[in-house]
Chain A
Amino acid sequence: MISLNFPLDQKEILDLKIGDRILINGTIFTARDRAHQFLMEHHLGNIDNSIIYHCGPLIKDDLVISAGPTTSSRLNRYTPELIRKYGIKAIIGKGGMDDAVINSLMGKAVYLSAIGGAGITYAKTMRIKNAYNLEFGMSEAIWEFEVKDFPAIVTMDSRGNSLYKQIYKKSEAIFRNQLL
């Protein structure tokens, strides 16, 4: 297990490869569909060079109760521009992202997978630092969390490799065969 303290320097990010299991320390920002739309239309400076977490947390009385990842593919369309505009270093989510995102990660950033449904495991690593756009509602607001030992797996690296794509291709060959 590799312990990573964000903000990382660029070399550490470029050295990460798919299959690496890591523990994240540092600041992360949640963003889902509506937050992405907002971040495209406005500029939230705090997010520059940071980590985006695809997550709509469950929060009560300023405590994070449960906060696993949401499906990343819904955010494919915003992500290349988000990485360019904010210099995002890492994205945490689940399910992987498309080829355009793989290209936009090249030489810049990585995609990390968290386990969907394991909400309490992640909540225990988090402390709320700040919240933006609370009018979007609990799940769509942008939450700034300080995390300690947040576990994740590198599944799309900065060299064009995607674990999801490898699995997809393997399963496609089997699927085509099953349809014969």
Chain B
Amino acid sequence: MGLKDEIIRLFGETATQLPEDIIIALEKAERTEDDPISKDILGRILANVGQAKKESKPICQDTGIPIFYVEYPRIYSQEKLKRIIEDATAEATNIIPLRPNAVDSLTGENTGNKPFLHFEESDNLKIDLLLKGGGSENVSSIYQLPNSDINAGRDLDGVRRCILDSIFKAQGKGCPPYIVGVAIGGSIEEVAYLSKKQLLRKIDDKNTIDELNNFEECVLEQVNQLGIGPMGLGGKTTALSIKIENSMRHPASFFVGISIGCWCLRRQTL
């Protein structure tokens, strides 16, 4: 099988199969909820996930923006990989099928699907695909600290306030229970990129920095105290995980990027 066909297969797997770690977290949440509405919602979510896999159909009609994280050895040309991925995206749109999600902002014309590509040189070829839904993307945000509205200073407590504020504002709009990626750094594109990349970490993945690992667990508990719940209709599970990455910043700047994933976070690796 050529690389193009493997990427088409990757599209199919990603759109139709929710990663196992997220299924396990949703099952645990379903057992934890005692409110009949939130329990019913999680039960239906899990039934839909099972049906999607069984019938090889996209779990959600919003098959998202395809975001590729490509690690490649020097023997490959970046230009050639880009072309292969673009061709695979066009074919996958018809075959899987994927919903056309690339709208020209000026003309309003929907032209199919446009993959977002991130390349990095490495010893081995590894392709991560994230199909990122629009609803959860719309509730993602970037904060600049200090922020007097939420009394947030330039420290981890300030970051905690940003996360709580963003989830409180999101309520049920982005399809909770959420999967949250956070990054601290010195430029807006860096925290946007790194926070989204945190969504690739598995639910049970531990942060290698103890302080951040504790922070992730502690803020997750606080987010779940908000009671927003599955689909924003109340309950104990507002988020399944929070993952954070720390990065260098300019002395003048302190940005916090918050990328929010819906429960239906579709990510697979080739």
Contact = CB atoms under 8 A, between A and B. Distances in A.
A159 interface: no
B61 A55 contact: yes
Given A19-B37, A65-B97, A137-B110, A121 B135 contact: no
Interface residues of A, number: 47
Contact of A95 (B61, B101, B171, B229): B171
Contact of B233 (A66, A70, A151, A167): A167
Interface string A117-135: 1111101000000000000
A82 interface: no
A55 B62 CA distance: 10
B232 A95 contact: yes
Nearest to B139: A71
Please report whether the interface of chain A is mostly helix, strand, loop or mixed according to DSSP.
mixed
A23 interface: no
Contacts of B60: 66, 68, 116-119
Contacts of A65: 57-58, 61, 97
B244 interface: no
A163 B59 contact: no
Given A58-B63, A120-B52, A178-B225, A115 B45 contact: yes
B233 A117 contact: no
B58 A94 contact: no
Interface stretch (A9-17, A84-92, A102-110, A168-176): A168-176
B172 A95 contact: yes
Contacts of A120: 48, 51-52, 55, 57-59
A121 B51 contact: yes
A66 B171 contact: no
Given A58-B63, A175-B168, A139 B97 contact: no
Contacts, number: 156
B59 A117 contact: yes
Contacts of B133: 117
A73 interface: yes
Given A66-B57, A121-B47, A116 B231 contact: yes
Contact of B101 (A57, A68, A73, A139): A139
B227 A66 contact: no
A139 B168 contact: no
Interface string B21-35: 000000000000000
B108 interface: yes
Contacts of A166: 234
A137 B175 contact: no
Contacts of B100: 137-139
A144 interface: no
A71 B52 CA distance: 22
B110 A163 contact: no
A6 interface: no
Interface in B131-182: 133-135, 138, 150-151, 161, 164-165, 168, 171-175
B90 to A, nearest CB: 15
B72 to A, nearest CB: 31
Nearest to A70: B135
B151 A179 contact: yes
B240 interface: no
B262 A117 contact: yes
A51 interface: no
A68 B61 contact: yes
Given A118-B44, A179-B151, 5 more contacts: A21-B40, A119-B57, A167-B172, A170-B234, A172-B168
Interface of A: 19, 21, 34, 55-58, 60, 65-68, 70-71, 73, 94-96, 113, 115-121, 123, 136-140, 151, 153, 155, 163-164, 166-168, 170-172, 174-175, 178-179
Q: Which 6 A-B pairs have the closest CB atoms?
A: A137-B110, A116-B175, A117-B264, A66-B61, A118-B48, A95-B173
